[in-house]
Structure 1
Amino acid sequence: MSITKDKGSSGHLAALEPPAFAVSKIKRTHSLWRYLWPFQSLKQFLVFCALSLFIFLGCTLLARLWPDVVPLQSGSGAFILGLLIWGPCMTLPARMTIITRGTARQFIPRLEQLLQEDDYTISALTTNKDRIYFRFKWPSYLAWLHSPEQDLELSRICENDIELHGPARALYSLEMSLRWELEK
């Protein structure tokens, strides 16, 4: 089925094909209080504290060495701290639904490819093609930072619907890639 659209006063009608898929908005699946404590593990909290201390000491050192060149005020420190807090907030769990025009199974390989471009690999937990688990590929020196909450789950919930559960950061990246595909 194609949709026709008027092309101005010339009277010619052009056929427009509906898109191959539609992407829902990303919905957070965590409680509101998680914004007050966005850390998913003690490990993540300790890394946050270490980075905050390192940045604070670095800014203090730069301000003492070059007070005229580096105008570091409390505003820039608050900005850096805000970025550090936003990072853990982007790892909080979220959900996204993709509705395909064809069968969902035909669209899953494209999603696998996009997730692999975002450094996700198929996990050993995957047992069938209707529910696929992805794990973020950390560099070897950062592998200790991994937590299971950062894994992504792709599941086919019906003939035309695919649902993804995982960290909001990964879902926003995937959503952006899919929307770019729609605009091509």
Structure 2
Amino acid sequence: MDTTTCTVCQQPLWQDELGHQACGACVRRLDQLLRELAGPGGLYAQLATVLHPGTTGGGARVSGSRTAPLPIRLEPLSLASRGGVVTILQTWLVDFHEYLGWQHPRWEGGLQGQLDQAVSRLRILLPWAAENHEAFRELFAEVRDVVGACKAQVSGEPPARRVTVVCTLCDATMRITLDTPGRRCKCGTQYGWTELRQLPLAERAVA
């Protein structure tokens, strides 16, 4: 296992980060993503404002359907309900506690309170996880995807557009978005955030 590069963005680690799972920049990015979810004005709280049909993206209503719309929108409901965002974060926190040999975390209050609690504790443990937890990359990806899904429901904006780029060494293709922090090609070549965006598009490579 390479202990000199960040598992998230594939950039070289600083001297004092060698052996860690993630660099300081990716820890700060993940911390910011978690903060976007929490609090009374956070993305999770805003899901409650777009549960009814016609409230996505500032209230634009879809017309022309011959059938009556559902009284509630399933996409934001699935994110806001148990099993959605809150459960995903709690599962990671339980995993951290088990890894450290700590007692199972205890949840308090409603779902909003539980989310805020999970976010707060995860943020405290991020430096430890970046140094020790082998699934830090998966944690980063899952939180990033959850935040993206919440933003799509709250703002009505479509998910980030995916493009296909070509590895310059083996000609294999990789699907990325503007949010992709780094990627390892199947040939083993590691690309960081900047390097990925300098690769040729598959369409251009064929032309």
* TM-score under structure 2 length normalisation: 0.27
**TM-score (ref. length: structure 1):** 0.29
Larger Rg computed on CA atoms: 1
Looking at secondary structure, tell me which structure has more strand per residue. Answer: 1
